[in-house]
Amino acid sequence: MLNKATLIGNLGSDPETRYMQDGTCVCNTRIATTERFKDRSGERQERTEWHRVVLWGKLGEIAAQYLSKGSQVYIEGKIETRKWTNKEGVDVYTTEIRASEMKMLGGKGGDNQHRPAQQRQANPDFDASDPFSDKATGGDDSDLSF
């Protein structure tokens, strides 16, 4: 059996970091991935998916230090669904990617991702409220190599 997810996308918000009682870092973020295609009539279309990503331990600490809203990133991990009961007693489910590997990619903003978080500003071109904008994924995908 195989449970593996691979994403290349942009952060929709700054990473949220907390530490467990034992000192383990847990970093949560959202990543937008956009699929571009032509429909049957030849019109260019885009479809954006949002993914919850959790980075644990040292990987979470690195993400918290170097990533911010708009950062382009490669994430590899497994898909997990968690369940808990909220304050109203209702069962709540969430599906997320538990990252095992992360690579910071250049994308727009050049070396923006390589400065400590307190020294950089979020990418002003990124608009998380407009998931169909080229700005949500760092422009066209011609700069991506596989």
The upper half-sphere exposure of residue 80, i.e. CA atoms within 13 Å in the direction of its Cβ, equals: 12
Could you tell me how far CA 17 lies from the centroid of its own chain? 14
The CATH superfamily of 5-110 is: Nucleic acid-binding proteins (2.40.50.140)
Q: Give CA separation, 26 vs 14, 21, 23, in Å.
A: 14, 11, 9
Domain-wise residue ranges, the chain: 5-110
Distance in angstroms (rounded) separating the CA atoms of residues 86 and 14: 25
Residue 118 scores a pLDDT above 80: no
pLDDT the model gives residue 106: 75
Residue 133 — very low, low, confident or very high, per pLDDT cuts 50/70/90?
very low
Model confidence pLDDT, tens digit, residues 11-54? 999 999 999 999 999 999 999 999 999 999 999 999 999 999 99
Residue 9 scores a pLDDT above 80: yes
Q: Which residues contact 4 (CB under 8 A, 6 or more apart)?
A: 76, 77, 78
pLDDT the model gives residue 134: 37
Question: 125 vs 91, which has greater pLDDT?
Answer: 91
Using alpha carbons, select from 51, 66, 88 the residue that is nearest to residue 17.
Answer: 66
Residue 52 near residue 18 (C-beta atoms within 8 A): no
